Copies of this chain bind each other. A is one copy, B any other.
Amino acid sequence: GVSKKILVIPGDGIGQEVTAWGKKVLETIAANYKHTFTFDEGIMGHVAIEATGDPLPDGTLEKARQSDAILFGAIGHAKYDNDPTLKVRPEQGLLKIRKELGLYANLRPIKLFDDLLQASSIKPEILQGADILFFRELTGDVYFGEKKRSEDRTTASDLMIYHQYEVERIARKAYEAARTRKKKLCSVDKANVLEASRLWRETVQAVAKEYPDVETEHMFIDNAAMQLIKDPKRFDVVVTGNLFGDILTDEASQIAGSMGMLASASVGDSVGFYEPIHGSAHDIAGKGIANPLASILSAALLLDISFGLKEESQRVIRAVDATLKQGYRTMDIANKHTPNEFVLGTDAMGAQVLKNLN
């Protein structure tokens, strides 16, 4: 067995409830496969502001640097959403840790579990067979460009900026992945309007020459947002910038039935960072009804990508699949028109997956 240190950062809102299950799944895998996973915990986001005044305390960042992988929950709180004038904000913690750890590539696999074919608002015949891997650039773009507010506070700006090397490295990662899949890559930008997008497109065009075996397509973001719903099967690997990736992957969650099903891996220079795509969901936080599967599937990605434990990772995915086959659903993936579904809360759902792991 291997010996690894995992940092768990539950964060805000439903992050607390669901991450507990991602962690339990890792513990169970360790026990079953005789690995030694040592867990530590860190705070980040609103909970960290409340405790220390800082959305990403130095202690958490230190622990992150010393871990072999990080399992994260979610970030955000209604208080800040309702008051845009607050200076210290939970999201700053997440943006800072992404930047500090050099997590420039955010992988978001979109795939529907067979038993959820009816859970989506999209027609089954449109969804069946869709399988998309998004590469979202994560440490550049308008997220990290200079922010300004005029003294009289009536003008505000953010700089959307990309450097060639940032586009190159994410494009390479995406092309490498495309080689192991259907050998199709779609790069999404707004090159008909934005200079940053024109650099993006030029750079991807140059990198494409190194991968003549992969078919490259360039698409404008507005068209991509449309095609994703119209014909999701046309996509294999999609690579795009930070902002467009944020929007497209949330939208793409409808292809997988629910946001509550989607995991993501952020990788780059060193340690890998795993998190559900869903946010803190204050409206349902604390109610025990959140879907723990995205956190559990984030744990599966962690096992695969950071630890190279492919069999263990597949074991987790099979346990999720089995749970869905048995008819167990959380609220977000329930379909009132389908008989033989049992709607469970977070803990009961997590417990079913654990059972199926044993």
Interface residues of A (CB under 8 A from B): 76, 80-82, 84-85, 89-91, 95, 121-123, 126, 142-143, 145, 147-149, 153-165, 190-199, 201-202, 205, 218, 221-223, 225-226, 228-231, 243-244, 246-251, 253-254, 259, 279
Contacts and interface: CB of A to CB of B under 8 A. Distances in A.
B163 A154 contact: yes
Nearest to A203: B154
Contact of A91 (B149, B193, B248, B251): B193
Given A85-B198, A156-B162, 19 more contacts: A80-B192, A84-B197, A89-B192, A91-B192, A121-B122, A147-B195, A153-B199, A156-B198, A156-B199, A157-B161, A157-B195, A158-B160, A190-B243, A222-B251, A223-B279, A225-B247, A225-B248, A226-B250, A229-B229
A76 B251 contact: no
A149 B194 CA distance: 11
Identify whether the interface residues of A are mostly helix, strand, loop, or mixed.
Answer: helix
Q: Which of A147, A156, A161, A195 has the most CB of B within 10 A?
A: A156
A162 B154 CA distance: 8
A158 B225 contact: no
A322 to B, nearest CB: 26
Given A84-B191, A123-B121, A259 B229 contact: no
B192 A76 contact: yes
A222 B194 contact: no
Contacts of A228: 251
A202 B82 CA distance: 9
A121 B218 CA distance: 23
Contact of A196 (B157, B205, B248, B254): B157
A225 B251 CA distance: 5
A143 B195 CA distance: 10
A148 B250 contact: no
